Amino acid sequence: MDKPEATVPRLESETLALSPCFTPSPARQLDGRCAVVTGGSRGIGRAIALGLAQAGADVAILYAGNTERAESACAEAAAYGIRAQAYQCDVADFTAVQTVVAQVVADFPHVDILVNNAGVIRDSLLLRLTEADFDAVVDVSLKGTFNVTRHLLRTLLRSPHGRIINIASVSGLTGTAGQANYAAAKAGVIGLTKSVAREVAGRGVTCNVIAPGYIDTDMTRGLNPAVKDKLAAAIPLGYAGTADDIAHAVVFLASDLARYITGEVLRVDGGMAM
Ligand code: NDP
């Protein structure tokens, strides 16, 4: 005899009815807002910039050196009828960030959303990890997040919809062999996020962190196939995420629907680190 199929109980339609205080989000829920996205030229940052643009926000993209990709991201974002501008800047450089933030603030009338996404990897087991590779990763991910937040915070505090969204990693939650520098930097981003969330909450600004799992981008495309298979096997949903999966979470956290969420770590990882 065939085994009966496992059934998932269906919710009654009454249960699905929206509560009277729930306002469905409009398609362009970020109309009139302006976002700064670091590392917006490629991968996750590019998808975030496009997601925010699609939701109606102007976007200022910071990038390290890939001018062609940054300009094409801006052109794609501007097709949503918003203003998009790219700025070359090493987020690890405190003074360079100060200069570029002053330029962004001069170019856009207000800034409401900051997404600290720029990051690099220099993987190596600790016995072989060089000081230069440790510093490079911490300087871009952790110090870069501090630098941009520090210089933009006064402007964000003036926004009635201030949002800071930092991109960490599940490595910062669980640790990963071969990524002591990266995991340390990302764990630092989580601590920084919670501290900033407490400091700015009184001004109505939220500060949250997204911890992506294994996402298909330039950063992970170079991994050897055996490592990729091992990563995929560790994901309950069974496959790598896309940059858009992270962008959707960012748009939600940037929206009014997330106004009561702050200091939160949102894993977007297919269940990898639960
Ligand atoms: P990519 O390597 O695809 O893109 C990195 C982006 O960061 C590029 O736009 C790059 O600019 C920019 N960038 C790098 N260094 C600097 C710097 N010093 N100053 C300014 N911008 C810089 O990375 P991903 O899209 O994969 O990763 C984005 C974020 O998500 C990172 O913080 C990463 O740690 C995190 N993450 C990624 C995961 C993944 O599986 N991919 C998993 C977990 C977290 P340019 O194009 O000019 O070089």
Q: Which atom of ligand 1 is nearest to the CA of 186?
A: 34
**What pLDDT tens digit does each residue of the chain (274 aa) get?**
344 444 444 444 434 444 555 555 667 999 999 999 999 999 999 999 999 999 999 999 999 999 999 999 999 999 999 999 999 999 999 999 999 999 999 999 999 999 999 999 999 999 999 999 999 999 999 999 999 999 999 999 999 999 999 999 999 999 999 999 999 999 999 999 999 999 999 999 999 999 999 999 999 998 888 888 888 999 999 999 999 999 999 999 999 999 999 999 999 999 999 9
- 239 assigned to active site: no
With beta carbons less than 8 A apart as the criterion, state whether 30 and 256 touch: no
**If you measure from the C-alpha of residue 45 to the centroid of ligand 1, how many angstroms do you get, rounded to a whole number?**
7
Q: Is the CB of 117 under 6 A from ligand 1?
A: yes
Q: Is the CB of 66 under 6 A from ligand 1?
A: yes
**CATH tag for 27-268 (out of 3.40.50.620, 3.30.9.10, 3.50.30.50, 3.40.50.720):** 3.40.50.720
Q: What is the pTM of this model?
A: 0.93
Provide the residue count of the chain: 274
What sign has the CA pseudo-torsion 205, 142, 43, 71?
A: positive
Residue in 42, 72, 231 to alter for ligand 1 test, most ligand atoms within 8 A of Cβ = 42
* Burial class, 6, CB count within 10 angstroms (exposed 0-12 / middle 13-18 / buried 19+): exposed
What sign has the CA pseudo-torsion 18, 20, 26, 29?
A: negative
Q: Is the CB of 270 under 6 A from ligand 1?
A: no
Q: Is the CB of 218 under 6 A from ligand 1?
A: yes
